[in-house]
Structure 1
Amino acid sequence: MGAKLGKSGDDLAAWVEDKVRQDIERNDRQIEREERESQGQLKCKKLEMETQLKKIELESKHNVATATPKQGYGTQKPKIPLLSDLSQVDLYIERFERHAAAFGWHESEWVSCLANLLQDESLSVFLSLSPTESADYQSVKRVLLRRFNCDRNGFRLKFLSVKPQADEDFGTFINRAKQYF
């Protein structure tokens, strides 16, 4: 090609050397450009990964905050009084269950919560249970109800003895009597 351009001898050697140098420089610039592009791509990937990591951290913080139960027993103590009227154990247990459900307690926590509210004879009944029985809420409930005549026969006797109170209207009396069915 140099000969076609009218180059010969030293001129041709200088021209060839110049072309080789230009090719080397062009290749070096191409390599540098590709390296800059790959570094730019790496920076973009790194930024994307950091953004995803931040997003995951925020989601996990949000999930931890929302995954916790509405109220655990440890954070919300019962606002119901101790069991004192043993003639109404059934009503007390019903009230306790509604309270526990409203605060989102797991049924596995109910035994320990109820045990803290028992006193006197009801506490003695609870303490007389075996460790396996006292760990099961349904067993504790069944034993307490049976012990304080909140079974079929006990409810029948209560129903037969229920009388309207002096200041009670008929609808309220009927609702009160229905709870023994």
Structure 2
Amino acid sequence: MRLETEMKMLQAKSQAGIVKEETVGNASRFIDVSAKHTKLPHFQDGKDDLDIWLTRFERFAESNSWSRDKWSSSLCALLTGRALGCFWRLSSEQAQDYDKVKLALMNRYDLTEDGYRRMFRS
């Protein structure tokens, strides 16, 4: 009975994407998917270029098949300095929408049409 309960828990985790079920011959085994992934470094204000860092974050999230509605919560855990302050100032609803978070961050760091134009000219 205990083994059945453990199997049901592992199958539920498999459906949630926490573990992956692999079948080898007649036997199945479960592998912790989160342990295989490397972790992204924190965004360091003044050291990292936000535009490049966000592109890296998006590519990492896509390659690991993260659900897009979880991106903003994962992103906020990696922000520091002014970027974290910008995220903190957003409303609860805005903070849950990755596109709104990204837009707010890009505005904060002057990565707008006018900002890029000024950078190009200088």
TM bracket (short chain):
0.5 to 0.7
Q: Distance between the aligned counterparts of 1:81 and 1:115, measured in 2? A: 12
Gaps spanning 5+ residues in structure 2: where?
Answer: 1-7, 20-32
Q: State the number of aligned residues.
A: 101
- Structure-2 residue corresponding to 1:111: 72
- Structure-1 residue corresponding to 2:22: none
CA contact (8 A) 2:45 2:82 kept: no
Gaps spanning 5+ residues in structure 1: where?
Answer: 1-59, 162-181
Identity %: 30
Change (3 A) 1:132 1:80: same
- Structure-1 residue corresponding to 2:53: 92
Q: Quote how far apart the aligned CAs of 1:160 are.
A: 2.7
SS of 1:117 mapped into structure 2: coil
- Structure-1 residue corresponding to 2:42: 82
2:104 to 117, 128, 143: 143
Q: Quote how far apart the aligned CAs of 1:70 are.
A: 8.4
Change (3 A) 1:64 1:81: same
CA contact (8 A) 1:111 1:135 kept: yes
Q: Whose radius of gyration is greater, 1 or 2? A: 1
Name the structure with the higher strand share: 2
1:127 counterpart = 2:88: yes
> Where do 4+ consecutive residues of structure 1 move more than 6 Å?
63-66
Which is bigger in relative contact order (C-alpha 8 A, separation at least 6)? 2
Q: Distance between the aligned counterparts of 1:152 and 1:78, measured in 2? A: 33
Q: Quote how far apart the aligned CAs of 1:83 are.
A: 0.7
* TM-score, normalised with respect to structure 2: 0.68
Q: Distance between the aligned counterparts of 1:110 and 1:78, measured in 2? A: 16
Q: Quote how far apart the aligned CAs of 1:75 are.
A: 2.5
Q: Distance between the aligned counterparts of 2:43 and 2:92, measured in 1? A: 21
RMSD: 3.0
